[in-house]
């Protein structure tokens, strides 16, 4: 089964298989780097890693428009429901669920998760997604953590990792993360959206290629790759 993964800048990722269009962290409105408008995307499922506005983004309006199922932690699902989203699937860290289109598991992330209205957004998370035999890891916003080594035992085909620094791990720690996760392919994300997270992704890619056997794909917003 071919899986098409499209990066729309920041942490916005669409995963398309023959069974699902799954949109992660749909920060499109107000994101100067996003090459599409929310109206251009038609997700069946929306996954949200944590409560910050640059990750919840357009989740509420997109979920309502398309009747999309929202997957997130319990607290964020409550928030979405209180804003009129009808289909939610609450989960929590360490828990996974076998959906008809594949498996989603919430993994740890060291970060915050306050929601746009200031309410408590539970624990921030990463996402481990399994489609048939392919495994994709979206780290959400996080610092480096040693348990990435455990995630690496899952044989990750594609890892999407923040490299922006300031709010998440920066380039140095993100190289260490690739060493621990040992993915086949890695895509850097969560950089250049704001001044304080400007980075040189090509320089980072060169460092990763020197130290690991992972293949780095530096994407422009809107670019896709096949897993």
Per-residue contact track with Ni ion, 43 to 82, x per CB under 5 A?
A: ---------x------------------------------
- Interface segment toward Mn ion; rule CB under 5 A; list 1-9, 48-56, 152-160, 173-181: 48-56
List the one residue from 58, 75, 141, 165 that touches Mn ion (CB under 5 A): 141
* Displacement of CA 208 from its chain's centroid (Å): 20
| Closer Cβ to Ni ion, 115 or 205, answer by number | 115
Nearer to Mn ion, 20 or 28 (CB): 28
Phi, psi of 107, deg, nearest 5: -115, 165
For residue 75, state whether it binds Mn ion (rule: CB under 5 A).
Answer: no
Minimum gap (Å) between residue 124 Cβ and Mn ion: 9
Tell me if 25 contacts Ni ion by CB under 5 A. Answer: no
Torsion angle, CA of 65/95/74/132, rounded to 10 degrees? 0
Tell me how many helices (H) and strands (E) the chain has.
6, 14
Residue 54 near Mn ion by CB under 5 A? yes
Q: How far is the CB of 36 from Ni ion (least distance, A)?
A: 21
State the number of CA atoms in the 13 A half-sphere of 199 facing the CB. Answer: 25
* Close Cβ partners of 171 (under 8 Å, ≥ 6 residues apart): 163, 165, 199, 203, 204, 207
Q: SS3 of 27, please? A: coil
The binder of Ni ion chosen from 25, 58, 75, 141 (CB under 5 A)? 141
> Closest by alpha carbon to 156, among 178, 174, 173?
178
Segment interacting with Mn ion, rule: CB under 5 A, options 32-40, 93-101, 138-146, 194-202: 138-146
Rg (CA), the chain: 16
Q: Which is nearer to Ni ion, 75 or 141 (CB)?
A: 141
Q: Give CA separation, 45 vs 159, 171, 190, in Å.
A: 20, 31, 21
- Nearer to Mn ion among residue 53 and residue 220 (C-beta): 53
Count other C-beta atoms under 10 Å from residue 96's C-beta.
14
- Indicate which of Mn ion, Ni ion, none lies near residue 157 (CB less than 5 to 8 Å, by partner kind): none
Residues that bind Ni ion (CB under 5 A): 52, 141
Residues that bind Mn ion (CB under 5 A): 54, 141
């Amino acid at each position: 089964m071919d899986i098409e993964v499209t990066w729309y800048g920041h942490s916005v990722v669409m995963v398309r298989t023959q069974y699902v269009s799954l949109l992660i962290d749909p920060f499109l409105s107000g994101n100067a780097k996003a090459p599409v408008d929310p109206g251009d995307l038609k997700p069946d499922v929306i996954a949200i890693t944590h409560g910050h506005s640059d990750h919840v983004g357009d989740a509420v309006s997109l979920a309502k428009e398309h009747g999309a199922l929202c997957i997130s932690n319990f607290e964020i699902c409550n928030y979405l429901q209180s804003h009129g989203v009808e289909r939610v699937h609450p989960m929590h860290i360490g828990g996974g669920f076998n959906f008809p289109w594949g498996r989603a598991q919430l993994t740890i992330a060291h970060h915050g998760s306050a929601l746009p209205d200031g309410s408590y957004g539970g624990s921030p998370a990463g996402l481990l997604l399994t489609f048939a035999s392919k495994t994709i890891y979206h780290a959400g916003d996080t610092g480096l953590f040693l348990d990435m080594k455990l995630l690496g035992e899952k044989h990750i085909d594609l890892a999407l990792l923040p490299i922006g620094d300031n709010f998440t791990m920066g380039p140095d720690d993100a190289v260490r993360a690739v060493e621990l996760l040992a993915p086949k392919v890695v895509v850097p994300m969560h950089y250049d959206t704001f001044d304080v997270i400007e980075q040189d992704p090509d320089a980072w890619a060169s460092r990763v290629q020197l130290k690991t056997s992972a293949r780095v794909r530096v994407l422009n917003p809107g670019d896709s790759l096949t897993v």
